[in-house]
Amino acid sequence: MLAYIIRRILQSVLVMLVVALVSFALFRFVGDPINSMVGQETSIADRDALRDQLGLNDPFLSQFATFVTRAAQGDFGISYRLQQPVMELILSRLPATLELALVSGVLAFVFGVGFGVYTALRRNGWASNTIMTVSLIGVSLPTFLIGVLLIWVFAVELQWLPSFGRGETVEIGGWTTGFLTPTGRASLILPAITLGLYQMTLIMRLVRAEMLEVLRTDYIKFARARGLSNRAVNFGHALKNTMVPVITITGLQLGSIIAFAIITETVFQWPGVGALFINSVRFVDVPVMAAYLMMIALVFVIINLIVDLLYYAVDPRLRVDRAATRH
């Protein structure tokens, strides 16, 4: 188990190094950051001086080594556009994105599993058929369109919920949260639904397919033949077996929720890292883009690691070393 964890962590470090290389390559090959930092009147001598000062003339490997060392310490340099440390910028925006991702992830998981189980158990009921049909919309409509539609219905026509921003936020130890104010909570609803809808339908269809598969197995038949209650069979025996693949997909989806919050954040003017990234792209603010890339990679790597460890918790067959010691 410990050896397994160490191996997985080493693999993760390798992945991060590769991503760092890609991020770093951005510095070298995407435009000339000097152009976007200085005005048109700046002389070539001044530009060269600035280039030296930023270390842009050093050899490739030494620049990369500096980049990785600094990145490991959380130092991604200074934003070309805002002249602020990149890490500070990202950290100030991160709570907004994480709260949004958390809420939509939880929504997607709870409703995805709930609807999935329901439609699997009542395969031919009218409610199941309705849910399945509606879920097609969730799978096929692009996120920005869902966002715009929700804004139109709930913010413009019904005027129940705000159409943009985070509402009022409260700061607790450097973390700004929207959970504690009524406007903060109201502002979360539409973006969270927009971001989570696709994931929810995906999880729902996955749970349904897996559940139908599991319900056909011999051990479910045998559990019924032993007179166990429907609840025990469906939720104790069937659902737990359904969860192994669902955990994988949900974990990976949580990563993409954070990564693809960009679109939702843009539609709802959500002050998160996604919106920061979009603005940085516009101004070729390479340090921010590189840091964002690294951050998303880190999120994916960590989530993958957690998913692998969750397998151990759910599926005893994977605890091979434990079994070996017992025999």
Partner 1 sequence: MTDALLSVRNLRVEFPTRRGVLTAIDDVSFDIMPGEVLGVVGESGAGKSLTGAAIIGLLEPPGRIAGGEILLKGERIDNLGVEPMRRIRGKRIGMVFQDPLTSLNPLYTVAQQLIETIRTHADISEGEARKKAIALLDRVGIPAAARRIDDYPHHFSGGMRQRVVIALALCAEPELVIADEPTTALDVSVQSQIIDLIKEICAERGAAVMLITHDMGVIAETADRVAVLYAGRIAEIGPVRQVITAPEHPYTAGLMGSIPTLTQTDARLVQIPGAMPRLNAIPQGCAFNPRCEKAFDRCFKERPTPVVRNADGRKVACWLYDAIDTAAKEQANG
Q: Pick from 53, 83, 230, 325: which binds partner 1 (CB under 8 A)? A: 230
Closer Cβ to partner 1, 61 or 225, answer by number? 225
Q: Which residue from 60, 152, 179, 222 is in contact with partner 1, where contact means CB under 8 A? A: 222
Calculate the CA dihedral of residues 254, 256, 257, 258 and round it to 10 degrees: 100
Residues between 234 and 263 that touch partner 1 (CB under 8 A): 236-237, 240-241
Handedness of CA 59, 61, 62, 63 (dihedral sign): positive
**CB-nearer residue toward partner 1: 43 or 230:** 230
CA distance 303 to 300: 5
Shortest CB 206 distance to partner 1, Å: 18
Residue number with CB closer to partner 1 (173 or 231): 231
**Position among 91, 155, 186, 228 found at the interface with partner 1 (CB under 8 A):** 228
Which CB atom, from 166 or from 237, has the smaller least distance to partner 1? 237
Q: Show Cβ contacts of residue 4 under 8 Å, excluding neighbours closer than 6 positions.
A: none
Task: Kindly tell me which residue out of 11, 35, 130, 217 binds partner 1, with binding defined by CB under 8 A.
Answer: 217
Tokens of 226: 């032993």
Cα distances from 92 to residues 11, 85, 89, 137, 174, in angstroms, run 30, 11, 5, 35, 8
Residues 6+ apart with CB under 8 A from 195: 100, 101, 104, 143, 257, 260, 261, 264
- Residue 217: count of CB within 10 angstroms of its CB: 13
User: Does residue 213 interact with partner 1 by CB under 8 A?
Assistant: no
Q: Which is nearer to partner 1, 220 or 263 (CB)?
A: 220
Report in angstroms the alpha-carbon separations of 268 from 127, 137, 263.
32, 21, 9
Q: In sequence order, what are the residues at sequence separation of 6 or more whose Cβ sits closer than 8 angstroms to the Cβ of residue 137?
A: none
Site string for partner 1, 103-132 (x = CB under 8 A): ------------------------------
Using only C-alpha atoms, what is the Rg of the chain?
A: 24
Among 146-154, 181-189, 229-237, 265-273, the segment contacting partner 1 (CB under 8 A): 229-237
Q: Are 210 and 242 in contact (CB under 8 A)?
A: yes
> Can you read off the two tokens belonging to residue 321?
């070393």
Nearer to partner 1, 206 or 233 (CB): 233
Instruction: Give the 3-state secondary structure percentages of the chain, helix then strand then coil, rounded to 5.
Output: 75, 0, 20
- The reply on whether position 321 binds partner 1 by CB under 8 A is no
CB of 197 to partner 1, least distance (A): 31
Q: Which long-range contacts (CB under 8 A, 24 or more apart) does 274-282 make?
A: 274/97, 275/93, 276/89, 276/90, 276/93, 279/81, 280/79, 280/81
Nearer of residues 7 and 123 to partner 1, judged by Cβ = 123
Closest separation in Å from C-beta 178 to partner 1: 38
Window contacting partner 1 (CB under 8 A); options: 70-78, 218-226, 283-291, 296-304: 218-226
Tell which one of 128, 224, 249, 283 touches partner 1 (CB under 8 A): 224
Q: Does 323 bind partner 1 (CB under 8 A)?
A: yes
Q: How far is the CB of 322 from partner 1 (least distance, A)?
A: 10
Which residues inside 260-319 make contact with partner 1, applying CB under 8 A?
314-317
Residues that bind partner 1 (CB under 8 A): 217-219, 221-230, 232, 236-237, 240-241, 314-317, 323, 326-327
